[in-house]
Amino acid sequence: MQTLLPAGAGYASIEIKVSFLRPLRANAGEIEVRGQALKAGRRVAFAEARARDQSGELAGRATTSPAINRP
């Protein structure tokens, strides 16, 4: 998210949603997590992330809406 904002700007989460779709055990091996900043408006931004197990199955998904504090 920080890469979409001007220097000196900060943000604080106003909403976070996490969906756990399948269990991941300690011995499950590597987990791939990819996040993406979707949009940064004047006051609110939007981002999401997805976690996949070694077989590529989606294990979890998260979205967030942080409030932007511009300098």
Residue 3's pLDDT is 78
The model's pTM is 0.81
> Does 2-69 carry CATH code 3.10.129.10?
yes
Residue 1's pLDDT is 74
d(CA 19, CA 16): 10
d(CA 21, CA 35): 17
Tens digit of pLDDT for each residue in 7-61?
888 899 999 999 999 998 888 899 999 999 999 888 999 999 999 999 999 999 9
Domains in the chain: boundaries: 2-69
**Residue 2 in this model has a pLDDT that exceeds 80:** no
